[in-house]
């Protein structure tokens, strides 16, 4: 694969974009009327599941988005960092974030569009608060650590037999040309470098792709799966949701290849074997 094409693929994961029609400067939210309507529709449709485990709500909601168009760089159109709400199109990470925010909103005492926005912000940004571009959880292992601290998820990779993952990240600070916010704000680069050093000091685990077949994933239905990579400076190259369909472990994800949200036809282990960029998986259980 040519270097230019590889940069596009990677920056698509780390950066996420939307073409918005409505901007709420007071609350730093960007969305269309269609997005707000879809949030309310999903809440009303699935509120009957409010007493069920969050993972069940999460997986059912995610399945309801099958065939929703894929769109790369879904968070990058705003000059200043704003909370982008877009249920009309997803990349692999915003698909996960939106479904998790909807699930937690439905499980809350007062489900509403405002509650959804509050929850999405909490999931997407470090310490749950939108500050600026550097406060977004760009690296997915950072996303894992931050959302584990918030008790939204738990990383069960080690319990499933995972081994230490050598996670040395620096891709953003060494490829600033792939990120217009880093190009336009030189002061952000040093902040990102400090964040990268913090991430690289943490301990993570992964299940190598050749070991997935022997790993019992039958009980992880509705969990988030993150695909690790051997690309220098990067941690995770794709994300999705584990779906146990008729005793076959499949992947529900926003697919750039298919251009939409799909449920894989093949098993998860077969999917990853067909992707040279992916080295293994991390499994994240949704907290109930």
Looking at residue 23, what is its pLDDT?
Answer: 52
Looking at residue 17, what is its pLDDT?
Answer: 33
Is residue 225 within 8 A of residue 251, CB to CB? The reply is yes
> Residue 257, CB half-sphere, CA atoms under 13 Å: how many?
8
Cα four-point dihedral sign 142, 233, 134, 31: negative
- Give the residue numbers spanning the domain of 107: 3-286
Q: How many domains does the chain have?
A: 1
Q: What is the pLDDT along the chain (288 residues), one digit of tens a residue?
A: 444 344 544 444 554 333 344 555 455 899 999 999 999 999 999 999 999 999 999 999 999 999 999 999 989 888 899 999 999 999 999 999 999 999 999 999 999 999 999 999 999 999 999 999 999 999 999 999 999 999 999 999 999 999 999 999 999 999 999 999 999 999 999 999 999 999 999 999 999 999 999 999 988 999 999 999 999 999 999 999 999 998 899 999 999 999 999 999 999 999 999 999 999 999 999 998
Strand order from edge to edge, sheet including 29-31: 22-24, 29-31, 83-84
Give φ, ψ of 79 to 5 degrees.
Answer: -65, -45
Residue 10 is encoded by which pair of tokens?
């990677």
Looking at residue 266, what is its pLDDT?
Answer: 94
Question: What CATH number should be reported for the domain holding residue 179?
Answer: 1.10.3670.10
DSSP string, the chain: --HHHHHHHHHHHH------SEEETTTTEEE-HHHHHHHHHHHHHHGGGTTS-HHHHHHHHHHTTTTPBB-SSTT-S-SS--EE--SS-B-HHHHHHHHHHHHHHHHSSS-SHHHHHHHHHHHHBGGG---SGGGB--SHHHHHHHHHHTTSEEE-TTTTT-EEE-----HHHH-GGG-HHHHH-HHHHHHHHHHHHHHHHS-EEEEEGGGGGGS--TT-TT-EEEEEE-STT-SEEEEEEEEEETTEEEEEEEETTTTEEEE-SS-HHHHHHT-TTEEEEEEEEEP-
Looking at residue 22, what is its pLDDT?
Answer: 55
Q: What's the rounded Cα separation, in Å, for the pair 103 and 119?
A: 10
| Cβ within 8 Å of residue 13, ≥6 positions away | 91, 92, 93, 140, 236, 237, 238
């Amino acid at each position: 694969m040519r270097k230019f094409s590889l940069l596009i693929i990677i920056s698509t994961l780390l950066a996420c974009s939307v073409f918005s029609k409505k901007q709420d400067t007071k609350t730093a939210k960007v969305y269309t009327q269609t997005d707000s309507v879809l949030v309310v529709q999903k809440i009303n449709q699935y509120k009957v599941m409010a007493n069920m485990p969050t993972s069940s709500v999460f997986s059912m909601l995610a399945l309801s988005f099958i065939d929703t168009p894929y769109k790369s760089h879904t968070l990058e159109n705003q000059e200043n960092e704003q909370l982008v709400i877009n249920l009309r199109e997803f990349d692999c990470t915003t698909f996960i974030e939106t479904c998790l925010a909807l699930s937690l909103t439905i499980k809350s005492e007062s489900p509403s569009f405002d509650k959804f926005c509050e929850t999405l912000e909490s999931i997407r940004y470090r310490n749950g608060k939108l500050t600026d571009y550097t406060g977004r959880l760009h690296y997915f292992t950072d996303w894992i650590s931050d959302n584990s601290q918030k008790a939204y998820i738990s990383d069960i990779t080690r319990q499933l037999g995972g081994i230490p993952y050598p996670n040395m990240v620096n891709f953003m600070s060494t490829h600033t040309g792939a990120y217009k916010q880093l190009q336009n704000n030189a002061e952000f680069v040093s902040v990102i470098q400090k964040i990268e050093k913090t991430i690289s000091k943490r301990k993570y685990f992964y299940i190598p792709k050749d070991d997935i077949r022997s790993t019992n994933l039958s009980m992880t239905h509705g969990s988030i799966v993150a695909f690790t990579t051997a690309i220098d400076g990067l941690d995770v190259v794709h994300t999705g949701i584990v779906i146990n369909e008729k005793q076959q472990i499949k992947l529900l994800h926003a697919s750039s290849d298919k251009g939409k949200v799909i449920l894989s036809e093949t098993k998860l282990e077969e999917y990853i074997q067909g992707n040279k960029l992916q080295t293994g998986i991390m499994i994240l259980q949704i907290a109930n």
